[in-house]
Structure 1
Amino acid sequence: MGLEPGHVTAVPGLSRAAQLTALGNGVVPQQAARALELLGATTLLNASRSDAAP
């Protein structure tokens, strides 16, 4: 998932069910980075279009 080994599993006292819940509710870092790239590209594209409009 792009996380360091033990990111969730090395947490003391965290049950297997809690580990799976934490991972299931998390955002994969690569997905978040790509989403930000796309949002940034869309924002720049929209800004350049509005600057060119009369």
Structure 2
Amino acid sequence: MGLPEHHVTGVPGLSRSAQLRALGNGVIPAQAVAALHLLLDRLDDPELAA
């Protein structure tokens, strides 16, 4: 997700469910970037762009 190692998992006493809540929707920006790269790559391929 682009966070430093142990950013959430290194907090003592934080349960797994609390770790997931702390992360929230943090993955959304990275997924959006991946989707845009995929779509832009398809624009460069005439077979896929049609």
TM-score (norm 2): 0.46
Higher RCO, 1 or 2 (CA under 8 Å, sep at least 6)? 1
Higher helix share: 1
TM-score (norm 1): 0.43
Structure exhibiting the larger radius of gyration computed from Cα positions: 1
